[in-house]
Amino acid sequence: MVLGLSLPAFTLVHVVISLIAIVAGLIVMFGMLGSKSAPGLTAIFLLFTILTSVTGFLFPFKELLPSHMVGILSLVLLAIACIALYVMKLSGVWRPIYVVTALVSLYLNVFVLITQSFLKIPALAALAPAVPPAPPSGPVFAVAQGVALIFFVVVIIGTWRRFRPMAFA
């Protein structure tokens, strides 16, 4: 039981939170490429991405795992992104700091989504077998993660150059 929910029910809640964060983040990211700010959707993206990491720590565990390190890194990046956006109002150097920290946090969520997809979806698991506690491996998994990484590097660079919102309220 986690927060009064069975482990499968809590896992479902965690997955739904994660998917909301990713979808909102992708919409925000593409808006940022066009220098469009979406304050409400950005707040949803940041909140649900924070909730994704926080709920990830509520699963039972005996030792610190790589997933916990990703969660810690994500929370640090999200704290910086929130400071850059809500405290510093994207002024000066805080605009690119926000772009990088917010979008790297989104990438980490997508990284985990891909990893979990290869662990939980039988067709993908057959393409990249994993021997617990090791993550999936093999060329198909590496290509999927590589494509995601290259996509995010290109988008982050493009967003760094193009995101100049008139105002973010």
**What would the 3-class secondary structure string for the chain be?**
CECCECHHHHHHHHHHHHHHHHHHHHHHHHHHHCCCCCHHHHHHHHHHHHHHHHHHCCCCCCCCCHHHHHHHHHHHHHHHHHHHHHHCCCCCCHHHHHHHHHHHHHHHHHHHHHHHHHHHCHHHHHHCCCCCCCCCCCHHHHHHHHHHHHHHHHHHHHHHHHCCCCCCC
Residue 169 lies in a domain: no
Q: pLDDT confidence of 61, banded at 50, 70, 90?
A: confident
Give the whole-number percent of the chain exceeding pLDDT 90.
75
pLDDT of amino acid 167: 59
Residue 20 lies in a domain: yes
Residue 62 lies in a domain: yes
pLDDT of amino acid 106: 98
Which domain covers residue 150, as residue numbers?
A: 7-162
Residue 1 lies in a domain: no
Given a cut of 90, is residue 158 above it in pLDDT?
Answer: yes
Q: pLDDT confidence of 101, banded at 50, 70, 90?
A: very high
Residue 155 lies in a domain: yes
Q: Work out how many domains the chain is built from and give that number.
A: 1
Residue 25 lies in a domain: yes
Given a cut of 90, is residue 149 above it in pLDDT?
Answer: yes
Residue 65 lies in a domain: yes
Residue 88 lies in a domain: yes
